[in-house]
Structure 1
Amino acid sequence: MKTKKTQSKSSKLSVGQKLKESSQLYLLMLPSIIIFLIFTYYPMYGVIIAFKDFKPALGIMGSKWVGMKNFITFFKSYQFSVTIKNTIVISLYTIAVTFPLPIIMALMVNQIRSTKFKKFLQVATYLPHFISVVVMSGMIILFLSPSTGIIAKLVGLLGFKLPNLMGSASAFPHIYVWTEAWQHVGWDSILYIATLSSVDPSLYEAATMDGANKWHKIVNIDLPSLVPTATVMFILRMGSVMSVGFEKVYLLQNNLNSSSSEIISTYVYKMGLVSNQYSLSAAIGLFNNIINLVLLIAVNMIAKKISDTSLV
């Protein structure tokens, strides 16, 4: 513990002295800073093309300025309302399902007393997370095939016929969200399990002496312990509401379900790399990121007001 004399001495140090004093720590940070500068901040220079009629032959600075034209083009396009709606529906649906499930999973694992069964359950639920998006999408398409899929075979044994779910626009959000839950819930629960493992055992002992059962311990000890972690995770999730995973949606997308699977990220890809409308795709991407930033700040401010937990 620092004394008042030590604290006053450290406060009088200049910025240069403080940097020199912690030089080894800053040296460890240097690789991360360089990576951020090269791969995160330097590419931001390219955002300029959102306000230009970008021509690769002329370069970024040589292309003509068009101001907000690309944004207006997107706002007036027939795909604007469709992509915004689909993105928000899939994203909020995903959060509604995959945010509470890891917490429930962690609470269940924390109640298991058999060490072997606990390890088996954790490994079994973690494994799907390591399946690549391409392989996972192929598995989903094969499993849900109405003619040769394993689910169709099982349903056929019961005397029913499986409809073409991959060709159904109304079924696409459910397929995407629940396969996401199956793949990532186990992995996402690790943080909450770690939080529960750090709870003081004396709290459980005191609750037992007071006559509390397992449900009382979960409600009064486990859940309050998870609230700060869950709040931070919720803020981060809300900050990416408009950023539904591109790869999986694009791989599961087809002409029959495109009315509900066309989201902002797939539309940006088609406009930018397929149709070569680089400025329009950059404008759509910038608009998407601005919305995410606004949501992140707003949710963080709300969390700060109603609780003691926030990002800053």
Structure 2
Amino acid sequence: MPQKKKASVYRTNLVNVGIGQGQMKTLPYLFSVTEFTGKGETLSQSSYTSGGLLTEKIAWEYDEKGRVIRQYYYSEEDTPSETTSFERDAKGDVVKELKVYIDGSTDTTTYRYDKDKKLLEKVTVDDEDVTDRHEKFTWDDHLLIRHEIIDMEEHPIELDEFKYDEAGNLVEHKRINEETGENYRIVSEYNKSGQKIADLIYDEEDELVEKVCYEHDDHGKVISSIVESPQKNSNTRYFYDEKGNHLGHEEVDDEGTQLVWVEHAYDQENNLTSSTVFVNGRGSGMSQHYELQYEYEWYDEEDNPMAG
């Protein structure tokens, strides 16, 4: 099977002309581009505005073993605003990363592992050797149970705590983020097959604020999710073809009003060829209705160094 070289996505917006006058299609524009190596690794991902301006681009370099050695972030064409280089030990684990900003300043992050190669901490210092960020990881055997981020003044700014059942399923996730104001707890429930059947979300006062229930088919795929909260009650149905490809989903509220509609189409090789998306703003936000068309380029055997 030929290796994918490039995937381009073109977006066409559907705009309401007026009551009873239908919709007008805008001219399609290049929405995103993803490029790949001959091994299938992602070389770059770029997104664009309708006017053709770059929104952002991320590019990667790999070593001969397919491990990332350098990452570039672009907010404008040509010159990266951030370049991150990764240093690895003999086993391939990252032990240090160096981030260089467009103004020449740098951040250096060192990694520390335990004897089983589980990550214990990451410490980031600036080019004046001042600690900017300290991350700590706590494990119970192979399961992460705590992740904490501390700022330069030793104040905790982010905390995630995790609990698991005997099968290793995540049953509780507690998150506090002083920067974003997040403070919640998610309790997850599973059936005997280990499939998640519910998420219960509690606020900082431990009041239940949202419940999401999931239904699965015989293959374990989610075919329905029901959301119950003071702000929103909705039911989402998910559709698949006989190959297991996700054909789309539809979300409706408790009055039957369509909130979201997504539809996908695939070719014979299961490559995504088109998507149609509708999001109902319901008066409180901007509705969106657009189409995406996917085009691919493939490596020929003679120009793919990994072929054969």
TM range, normalised to the smaller chain? under 0.3
- Structure number with the higher strand fraction is 2
Normalised TM-score (structure 1)? 0.21
> Which gives a bigger RCO, structure 1 or 2 (Cα 8 Å, sep 6+)?
1
Normalised TM-score (structure 2)? 0.21
- Structure number with the higher helix fraction is 1
User: Is the radius of gyration larger for structure 1 or structure 2?
Assistant: 1
